[in-house]
Amino acid sequence: MALDLDKQTRTELEAAAFRRLLKHFDERKDVQNIDLMNLSGFCRNCLSKWYKAAAEERGIEIDYDAAREEIYGMPYSEWKEKYQKEATPEQLEAFKKSHQH
């Protein structure tokens, strides 16, 4: 059963859930983007693209790097240097299989 919420309350709840998702990703830097892609079909970079698209739909210009910084909580280059690991052959193979169309 869908909740009968006014638009403002729904938006506030969705925003709170999104902020919690970002906090969760921040707490789980050990989870690599390739693992997210292999298991769920999206990753932090996807969220960055969706964030950018949502801004542009509202007439707000934001570049991809700025969107990434919103999602990662730091410049992507810094996150990548500190937390991103080289993908294993198994991860790459799983990615290849999960993205065949």
pLDDT at 57: 97
Residue 83 belongs to a domain with what CATH number? 1.10.3340.10
Identify whether 6 is part of a domain. Answer: no
Judge whether residue 19 has pLDDT over 90. yes
For residue 42, what are the domain limits? 32-98
- pLDDT one-digit tens code per residue, 33-85: 999 999 999 999 999 999 999 999 999 999 999 999 999 999 999 999 999 99
Q: What is the pLDDT of residue 100?
A: 76
By the 10 Å C-beta count (0-12 exposed, 13-18 middle, 19+ buried), 72 is classed as: buried
Give the contacts of 78 (CB within 8 A, at least 6 positions apart). Answer: none
pLDDT band at 86 (very low <50, low <70, confident <90, very high): very high
Assigned domain for 45 exists: yes
Instruction: Tell me whether residue 84 is in a domain.
Output: yes
Asked if the structure places residue 51 within a domain, the reply is yes
| Domain annotation covers residue 15 | no
What is the count of structural domains for the chain?
1
